[in-house]
Amino acid sequence: MTAFAPSRLFTGAEIIEGAVVHIDNGRVTSVSRTLAPDAVKLDGLLAPGFIDAQVNGGGGVLFNDAPTVDTLEAIAAAHSRFGVTSFMATLISDERGKIPAAIAAVEEGVRRGVPGLLGLHLEGPWLSEPRRGVHPAKHLRPLADEDIQALTRTRAFPLLVTVAPEQAAPIQIKALSDAGIIVSLGHTAATAEEVQAALAAGAAGFTHLFNAMPPIEGRKPGPVGAALADPDCFAGLILDGVHVHPVSAKLALAAKTARRLVLVSDAMSTVGAAGSSMQLFGETIAVQGGALRTSAGVLAGAHLDMSAAMRNAVTLLGASLKDALRMASLTPAEFLRVEIDRGRIAPGLRADFVLLNDALEPAGVWIAGERVA
């Protein structure tokens, strides 16, 4: 058994002082105010580890390039430095054979216990061509019955699928949702009515709100308007100050609140790596002004980590520290339906922690009670 006595503790609901967190066998057994004689004192704010629903790569590797357990281990190690204790390995639209390879890699990675690996996010290929971003048009296609059969097979990890309503009918979205798959809407130019039909069919949220979507207009609210008007759906946000203007991000926070806005990194291989460029489908992508762009200036994923996204919520949006931390931990846990096990520091939950210094930078990271960074 281990006991931690941090300067301050964020439980997922409140920030308190003088608390002691007791851990046994990788889980929290109790949170008390009684100082244990052998408690390890931690100088800083101990918070639930960050949960990232959209990680394409890190540490110099990209999941699309090599969907293997070795790649997942490298990505996990890179992001743990930034406070990430759970992540969804993300595969963007690619050749058909990449999806079964990605599923197999995540299955094996979860079986082996790759630290922090939570599940798989398939961002496409069921996306809208006009809003494809850097997703190759040749790989995009409508959702088919054979896809649904392959995706709805029972798995021991969360599966998140991003689709455009133009490529997936409400009855198909319902089939995925009924099978326990988390359906997110993204890379779409659908009307608000089409989006509302997808939400009614079981779609749970939106992938990188604002990005790869038409702008909201008074008579054409589109996906963004439908997302902001719905109080129940979740919305991912790439909060690097580039992908979404801070004013738009403030609007999203005001409409969705910290209970429904999910911070994501959309990180590519440059995060946690020495280099500032990478190859994507044979094209060089380079960090320019804090963001990854093609030679034509098209945004391609993000050069962002979750600890920076959390700090940006405070500095760019004026969010409270509690709300910023919630959007990086408990809210994504609820979106991914793992809040019974992660996202809070409470008895029975996994001992997944990040220790933050006065600058809100990670000073220590624990996954299932084991220090990893």
pLDDT in tens, 237-275: 999 999 999 999 999 999 999 999 999 999 999 999 988
Q: Which CATH number fits domain 2-47+348-371: 2.40.110.10, 3.40.390.10, 2.30.40.10, 3.40.50.720?
A: 2.30.40.10
Torsion angle, alpha carbons of 238, 206, 79, 345, to 10: 110
Confidence of residue 295 (pLDDT cuts 50, 70, 90): confident
Contact 309, 303 (CB under 8 A): no
* Confidence (pLDDT) at 289: 86
Match 């801070």 to its residue by tokens: 246
Confidence label for 333 from pLDDT (cuts 50, 70 and 90):
very high
The Cα 47–Cα 256 span in angstroms is 22
pTM score, whole prediction: 0.97
What single-letter amino acid sits at 305?
Answer: D
- The number of helix segments (H) and strand segments (E) in the chain equals 10, 21
How many angstroms separate the CA atoms of 278 and 287, rounded? 9
Write out pLDDT tens, residues 8-36: 999 999 999 999 999 999 999 999 988 77
Cβ-in-10-Å burial (0-12, 13-18, 19+) of 246 comes to: middle
Alpha-carbon gap, residue 268 to 286, rounded angstroms: 11
Domain boundaries, the chain: 2-47+348-371, 50-335
Percent over 70 (pLDDT), the chain: 100
Q: What is the DSSP letter of 262?
A: E
Sign of CA dihedral 114, 117, 119, 120: negative
CA-closest candidate to residue 174, choices 201, 144, 205: 201
DSSP 8-state code for residue 36 = P
**pLDDT tens per residue, range 91-101:** 999 999 999 99
Estimate to the nearest angstrom the gap between the alpha carbon of 18 and the chain centroid: 31
Compute the distance between CA of residue 196 and CA of residue 51 in angstroms, rounded to an integer: 27
When computed from its CA atoms, the radius of gyration of the chain, rounded to whole angstroms, is 20
CATH class given for the domain over 50-335: alpha beta
Computed over every residue of the chain, the mean pLDDT equals: 96
Q: Does residue 347 have a cis peptide bond before it, meaning omega lies within 30 degrees of 0?
A: no
Beta carbons within 8 Å of 88's beta carbon, 6+ residues apart: 52, 53, 54, 55, 118, 119, 120, 121, 158, 160, 336
What are the backbone dihedrals phi and psi of residue 224, each rounded to the nearest 5 degrees, phi first?
A: -65, -45
Determine the Cα–Cα distance for residues 240 and 265; give it in Å rounded to an integer: 8
Beta strand 370-371 pairing with 362-367: antiparallel
Single out the catalytic residue among 147, 266, 323, 352: 266
Are 302 and 240 in contact by the 8 Å Cβ rule? The answer is yes
The more confident residue out of 81 and 296 is 81
- To the nearest whole percent, how much of the chain has pLDDT over 90? 91
Q: Single out the residue of 247, 234, 273 nearest to residue 58, CA to CA.
A: 273
- Quote the CA–CA distance of 323 and 223 in Å, as a whole number: 24
Q: Are strands 15-17 and 2-10 parallel, antiparallel or unpaired?
A: antiparallel
pLDDT at residue 298 is higher than 90: no
Q: Which amino acid is at 5?
A: A
- Contact between residue 345 and residue 10 where contact means Cβ atoms under 8 Å apart: yes
Amino acid 1: pLDDT: 85
Q: What is the pLDDT of residue 321?
A: 98
Give catalytic status of residue 43 as yes or no. Answer: no
Q: If we measure between CA atoms, which residue out of 257, 202, 189 comes closest to residue 228?
A: 257
116, two tokens: 């922090």
Could you give the angle at the alpha carbon of 261 between the alpha carbons of 332 and 194, nearest 5°?
105
What tokens were used for 45?
A: 């704010």
DSSP secondary structure letter of residue 215? P
- Mind listing the pLDDT tens digit for each residue in 150-203? 999 989 999 999 999 999 999 999 999 999 999 999 999 999 999 999 999 999
Q: Give the residue with greater pLDDT, 43 vs 299.
A: 43
